[in-house]
Amino acid sequence: MSTSTSGDVVKDGVHYHQFDIVIVGAGGGGMRAAIEAGPNANVAVISKLYPTRSHTGAAQGGMAAALSNVEEDNWEWHTYDTVKGGDYLVDQDAAEILAKEAIDAVIDLENMGLPFNRTPEGKIDQRRFGGHTRDHGKAAVRRACYAADRTGHMILQTLYQNCVRLGINFFNEFYVLDLITVDDADGSTQIAGVVAYELATGELHVFQSKAIIFATGGFGKIFKTTSNAHTLTGDGVGIIWRKKLPLEDMEFFQFHPTGLYGLGILLTEGARGEGAILRNASGERFMERYAPTIKDLAPRDIVARSMVQEVLDGRGAGPHKDYVYLDCTHLGAEVLETKLPDITEFARTYLGVDPVVEPVPVMPTAHYAMGGIPTNNDAEVLRTNTDVVPGLYAAGECACVSVHGSNRLGTNSLLDINVFGKRAGNNAVEYVKTAEFVPLPEDPAAEVRTLIETLRDNSGTERVAALRKTLQNDMDLKAQVFRTEESLTEVLGTIEELRERYKNIHVDDKGKRYNTDLLEAVELGFLLDIAEVVVYAARNRKESRGGHMRDDYPKRDDDTYMKHTMAYLTGDPHSSDATDHITLDWKPVVITRYQPMERKY
């Protein structure tokens, strides 16, 4: 054993580090946790990206909080909108926390230096967003605090600058591939640390820690058409799954209505908040038929389905009649250039369309995972419906608390990472005050070493890109906005076939430094795992609710399905049967004040 120049201990070629708290992921949730934990504990943040390239930076429109700066508002209305928008699958105690703590979350960011847009009086400006209403659904309300259409970018930069100010330890371009756990005789699980692969050197690092916070984001790359970055491959969720800890509500994936046609690049809902209108080929404002009260500002699941229905009914635009229009022309150049500069530039750059003078072709794009790693309101990861894994936390899109139910309201994601990222950081600090380090196994990096070497040395003929393309195309065609028993069963068959082909993949690059070929092979393994859970849970839920629309079961069924899906890995995912290793269970929905009702907008 020796000590490297960076101060860590090296044993048998593996670097060993020790921190009180390790945060996996340097997006908004991870860095918000670090800001709370950093002054009170020895903290490391591990990210496979440079922090300011994290996907939080892609969020555009805003962050909800009932500040009442522009119109009368209160947190109870925000709670109601969150519950109703989530098609009543939201845990209402968690939604109350989200809405109550939203106000402090925005003020925290303002005090950190975030440059919000301002009213003429100097207050934080607010605009309308889909599903946010006043007086329990009577009319749209201005609740979204924003920084032009770069709100996520501003949040990410602000959080990173504050982490730097606090001296947080960052391990950038380190790819966490395993959670080190120790099982007690009574069946309980203790966490001991994580194992990471350093992209620059190809070396393995073991981070021993008392507490671990997962904030690894979503997994939109299981789909072809997505607003998600290439790196959102569900690594953190996949690691938890492979450790045979449960995943919750994985069938619920949100398809954002306004993705650039054919590309999926996001055009913020803030455009509709400023007054943009969705139109079909004949110029009709079709959302007046589907949501007569708040029209284009209905929740995302309703708008996305309405858009697809217009196309299916022959009212789509373009040579193939396969998209609709987002009409911003009436907003004027000043509004578009000052309040919506990014989306204006996106349309010009990627489609050659100028929103100032012509409507923009749009269609739904895979955007956000409502399901993920189950947690309680303290961000502690659950191992059953009620029991937690001591010292293990999750926050942000990788987690399911569940404040989004079956459909997240726009602006609640940036709010979620700040409210529950903060809670995760604070609760981890309290935990490590009395916790001890769990002794590491003899060779804690063994599984990751085997994974890396097997993939690198495999002499197969299958190409990672080809397998990934097949998966994503099938998910787009058969498990996107509309689903059926038949289509979902076909996808499971595809995944089973791809698992077999994955055993025969070939990685061209045999090197160790920045081996992105190898990295994508690892990510494909996670994508296959996650896609399978999503589709399996979707086939099991024989109703339509929120982001999960079953053409063969078009009604919501509260008598049978007013409950969360809990998925468990109970067998070998590489067995010949594509589903015999997954067991599904249920968890009750927490209802406090809002009984399930028909959603009318």
CA 372, chain centre distance (Å) = 8
CA 387 – CA 376 distance, rounded (Å): 9
- How many CB atoms lie under 10 A from the CB of residue 453? 10
Active-site residue among 32, 127, 300, 383? Answer: 300
Closest listed residue to residue 163, CA positions, set 113, 119, 116, 103: 113
E-strand ranges in 168-263 read 169-172, 174-183, 189-198, 204-214, 247-248, 253-260
* 3-class secondary structure, 493: helix
How is residue 25 written in tokens?
A: 């992921």
CB 405 within 8 A of CB 88: yes
Task: Give the sign of the dihedral formed by CA 141, CA 147, CA 153, CA 155.
Answer: negative
Task: Give the sign of the dihedral formed by CA 341, CA 344, CA 346, CA 352.
Answer: negative
- Three-state SS letters, 409-438: CCCHHHHHHHHHHHHHHHHHHHHHCCCCCC
Buried b (16+ CB within 10 A) or exposed e, 104-116: ebbebbeeeebeb
300 classed as catalytic: yes
DSSP per-residue string spanning 132-178 = EEETTTTEEEEEEE-STT-HHHHHHHHHHHHHHHHT-EEEETEEEEE
* 3-class secondary structure, 18: strand
Q: Report the catalytic residues.
A: 300
